[in-house]
Structure 1
Amino acid sequence: MLNRAQLINDAWTLALSGRLSTDVAMATLSYLHKENDVLVWITPATILNDVMRRLTNTAAYDALKKYIRCKVSQQYKHHLLKQDSTIKELQANELFSALACIYGIEDCLKEAHRQFSLWRNNSSSYPIDRHFLGIISCYAVAYGGWNVWNFAYE
């Protein structure tokens, strides 16, 4: 596990410093849709968020976002269906839910909006798990329109 994360980290560190081709660094991500270990995913999630910020307003931005969405989608579905309450599984659910919403996976955005709406209509009967409150609030407000934004603001 550490070796896989370290390989990704090293490749991207070298690529971002200009000492390795970006194609080689991208190749380290090719298997991620099969990687179920959340600890391995933390490294590429951090790196890719940085790369996406660097690529904002470039032609490569949308292509990379689509590529990441494909990698994250399977993991989001895989971890969403697991009902384990272990700390590691909770971390995985939190990470993949955040990544799924960040990269615009429709199921995640709909779920964030659904949970926020339930909470908004009856917060005492439907509390949002504290691990997901930030994710749900952020994306419900971002995609929920004026009424949702105004509710969150007040």
Structure 2
Amino acid sequence: MGFIGGGFSMDSLEFLKWMAVYFHDDIAALRVLLFLMGTQEPGGTIRATQREIASGLQLNRVHVNRAMGRVYALGLVHMVDRGVYQLNPQASLRGGTIEVEEAGRPAHRKPATRRVDQLELIADLDEDPTIPTEFKQLMLPGREPRQPKAEG
């Protein structure tokens, strides 16, 4: 696995192009999304607090919080837990291998690994009832994303 960071990237070129156009008026949201994409683990998990993201980008936490709200509303990312986020694999996925539990594997052996499969990950996330609908129904680049419904 001799690529930068020991993994391979399956970031959609169409998605990167879409981001450049869609966030033309919101550089903070664009920077936050690029930061998240660049720090994801195989499978799209990001372990970082908003404070760490703000520090890494040299932005005010208020701007990071607002930007995160915008990318949540678009279904590009969702918060799994405090300081743990999941990027939508339909748009961007850091591939590679992840460690997996293997019953009966001796403790002195290296952990078992498996390759991250984008379609399998999408199916697993689709079956998870805790995942927001906006995340599951992400419209892929090339089409205009749905705007969040106004509360009324």
TM normalised by structure 2 equals 0.26
Q: Which structure carries more relative contact order (alpha carbon 8 Å, separation 6+)?
A: 2
TM normalised by structure 1 equals 0.25
Choose between structure 1 and 2: higher helix proportion.
1
Choose between structure 1 and 2: higher strand proportion.
2
